[in-house]
A and B are shown apart, each in its own frame.
Chain A
Amino acid sequence: MTEVQTSPAAAPAAAGPSPRTGTQRAARVKEAATGWLFALPFTVLLVAFLLLPMAYAFKISLYRSTLIEGEVFAWFDNYKQAIDDPLVREGVVRVLIFGLLQTPVMIGIALIAALLIDAATSRFSRFFRLAAFVPYAVPVVIGTLMWGFLYSDSIGPFAWTGIDFTSSDTVLASLGNIVTWQWAGYNMIVLYAALQGLPRDVYESARIDGASEVQIALRIKTPMISSALVLATLFTIMGTLQFFTEPLILQPLNPGAITQHYTPNVYAYNQAFSFQQYNYSAAISFLLGAVVFIGSYIFLFATRKRSALR
Chain B
Amino acid sequence: MNLRKGSAAAHVVMGLLAIYFLLPFWWLLVAATKDNTGLFQSASLWFSDFHLIDNLRILFEQDGGVYLTWLRNSAFYAVVSGAGATAISALAGYAFAKLRFPGRNALFALLLGLIMVPATALVLPTYLLMSQANLVDTIWAVILPSLLNPFGVYLLRVYVHDSIPDEMLEAARIDGAGEFRVFTSVALPAMKPALVTVLLFSMVASWNNFFLPLVMLSDDQLYPLTVGLRAWYMSAIMGNGGAATFSVIVTGALVAIVPLIVAFLMLQRYWRGGLTIGSVK
Contact = CB atoms under 8 A, between A and B. Distances in A.
Contacts of A208: none
B166 A9 contact: yes
B31 interface: yes
B144 interface: yes
A1 B111 CA distance: 12
Interface stretch (B54-62, B190-198, B207-215): B207-215
B124 A46 contact: no
Contact of B226 (A142, A197, A232, A268): A142
Nearest to B109: A5
B128 A308 contact: no
B20 A181 contact: yes
Nearest to A136: B264
A92 interface: no
Contacts of B281: 308
Residue in B10, B123, B150, B229 with the greatest tally of chain A CB atoms within 10 Å? B10
B20 to A, nearest CB: 7
Nearest to A295: B116
Contacts of A141: 208, 210, 226-227, 229-230
Contact of A45 (B88, B116, B154): B88
B117 A293 contact: yes
Contact of A134 (B22, B91, B118): B22
A273 B136 CA distance: 14
Contacts of A43: 92, 107
A120 B275 contact: no
A149 interface: yes
B137 to A, nearest CB: 14
A46 B110 contact: yes
B1 interface: no
Given A35-B99, A133-B264, A238-B116, A146 B124 contact: no
Nearest to B161: A7
A268 B124 contact: yes
B33 to A, nearest CB: 14
B280 to A, nearest CB: 5
A12 to B, nearest CB: 8
Contacts of A241: 118
Interface string A272-290: 1100001001100110110
Given A42-B92, A185-B21, A53 B261 contact: no
A9 B98 contact: yes
A60 B129 CA distance: 11
Chain A interface category by residue count: 35 or more
A57 to B, nearest CB: 4
B250 interface: yes
B135 to A, nearest CB: 11
B24 A181 contact: yes
A228 interface: yes
B209 to A, nearest CB: 8
B101 A32 contact: yes
A190 B279 contact: yes
Given A53-B129, A117-B14, A252-B237, 20 more contacts: A49-B122, A50-B117, A54-B121, A60-B125, A119-B10, A134-B22, A137-B257, A139-B210, A143-B24, A145-B230, A181-B20, A193-B280, A197-B280, A214-B6, A282-B125, A285-B121, A289-B120, A292-B118, A292-B121, A293-B116
Interface of B: 2-3, 6-7, 10-11, 13-15, 17-18, 20-25, 27-28, 31, 39-40, 44-45, 88-89, 91-92, 94-105, 107-112, 114, 116-129, 144-145, 147-148, 150, 153-154, 157-158, 161, 166, 179-180, 183, 204, 207-208, 210-211, 215, 225-227, 229-230, 233-234, 237-238, 246, 249-250, 253, 256-257, 260-261, 263-265, 268, 272, 275-276, 278-281
